[in-house]
Amino acid sequence: MSITITDIEAAAERIAGDVLHTPTVAAPGLSRVLGCDLRLKLESLQLTGSFKVRGARNRFSTIDPDTTNGVIACSAGNHAQGVACFAERMGIAATIVMPRDTPFAKVEATERYGARVILEGATLAEAQVHTEKLIAAEDLTFIHPYDDDMIIAGQGTAGLEMIADAPDLDCVIIPIGGGGLIAGCAVAMKHHKPDLEIIGVEAASYATMNAAITGREVTSRGATLAEGIAVKTPGTRTLPIVRELVDDIVVLEEAAIENAVELLTDTGRLVAEGAGAAPLGVVMENRERFAGRKVGLMISGGNIDMRIFASVLLRGLVRGGQMVRLRVQISDSPGQLAAVSGLIGDAGGNIVEIVHQRMFYDVPVKHTDIDVVVETRNAAHAAEIVACLEAAHLPTRLLSDVTGISTS
């Protein structure tokens, strides 16, 4: 292998004082829900909100500020912030090329470190083409997000810390994009505990490492909540390490990643981006596999766009029956709306919004449909509210897709 434990230990010495030793914490609430003993490595608490500062800081130790014309990186956000942060500290000009649809929060965060941010291309691959043009035109030093020995060694320091803080783990689950984090961590953790099971997780739409190892062809496509691991091509330097040291790679669909972000917030009281929450999604989707085990989760980053985060939480309320939309048919006469409001209130529901549906042809002319958005305690409570309205001879349909609530 190109990376050894000596490289990672040397990286740990270099970055000490500039990069946080993030905590590995117990998660009793999540552990109780999922039936295993979970320990969370909170890289979301790093100074840029992601593990990427580790590799960036280690890589900058090889760059002379007096001889470089500046550094450049191509990144959807977290690597960009790591590079921009330490370029600013060292007085080196930084250029970051990002795809045009990069979340605003990551663009603004990168710019706050003084980097020149260029939005170019619909995808990371197209942004990389523009990056290569700038490297040639301006003679810039390129800092690769994962396929670089200094980057891999730097990321591996997260694993070194985790195994020191939680030496009794049975297995760890680590996100995979290009493979820098899991490759470095695998070298560090397997050195200290060879029987530790290391599991990677990829988004289904970008399961490129899994495809490379199994010899399958996968066409990466589309948007994903886990944009931090939306990488079309695994690293040539990371792939051999992953093939040798990683025991399994789990592929998660978008719904599982979204559910993990929500559960981590609702029960774990932690905010993570899609990639950072993906390890929790693996446990949620495979509870029997991890039952009773000590499981470490690498929460790799917390840089989620707040608008996306708000949507995830609201959609979670709908899935859990805590926010429902009811369509109630009433006669179009005075007092009927008040009667519906009273019944819902008496049943303990909180009305958020009401919209009349008078103009549609399927509503009798002397009747009206009203769509009511209601806050409830849970799905069972929502079912009680529907039953109360039906008992008052008010035909009611549940428009929300909530499991376990009868709409008959």
- For residues 255 and 346, state if they share a domain: no
In a domain? residue 406: no
Length of the chain: 408
Handedness of CA 29, 34, 39, 42 (dihedral sign): negative
**Are residues 252 and 371 both part of a single domain?**
no
Question: Same structural domain for residues 286 and 342?
Answer: no
**Could you tell me the CATH number of the domain that includes residue 256?**
3.40.50.1100
Are residues 78 and 202 both part of a single domain?
Answer: no
pLDDT for residue 365: 58
**Which residue among 286, 315, 344 closes a domain?**
315
pLDDT band at 387 (very low <50, low <70, confident <90, very high): very high
**CA atoms within 13 Å, Cβ hemisphere of 171:** 20
Boundary of a domain, candidates 86, 115, 142: 142
404: in domain: no
- 277 and 355 part of one domain: no
Give domain status of residue 405, yes or no: no
Same domain membership, residue 297 and residue 227: yes
Question: pLDDT tens digits, residue range 334-357?
Answer: 888 888 999 999 999 999 998 876
Catalytically active residues are 52, 300
- Residues 251, 166 share a domain: yes
Q: What is the mean pLDDT of residues 307-311?
A: 91
Residue 407 lies in a domain: no
In a domain, 352, yes or no: yes
Mean pLDDT in the chain?
Answer: 91
Same domain, 178 and 39: yes
- 119 belongs to a structural domain: yes
Whether 66 is in a domain gets the answer: yes
366 and 271 within one domain? no
Phi, psi (degrees; rounded to nearest 5) at 115: -80, 150
Q: What is the pTM of this model?
A: 0.88
CATH of residue 330: 3.30.70.260
Whether 95 and 32 share a structural domain: no
Q: Categorize the per-residue pLDDT at 4 as very low, low, confident or very high, splitting at 50, 70 and 90.
A: very high
Number of domains in the chain: 3
Q: Are residues 243 and 184 in the same domain?
A: yes
175 or 402, greater pLDDT = 175
Give the domain-ending residue among 315, 349, 377: 315
Tell me the per-residue pLDDT of 121-144, one tens digit each, with 9 for 90 and over: 887 778 889 999 999 999 999 999
Whether residue 236 has pLDDT greater than 50? yes
Whether residue 160 is found in the same domain as residue 246: yes
Query: Domain span at residue 372?
Result: 321-398
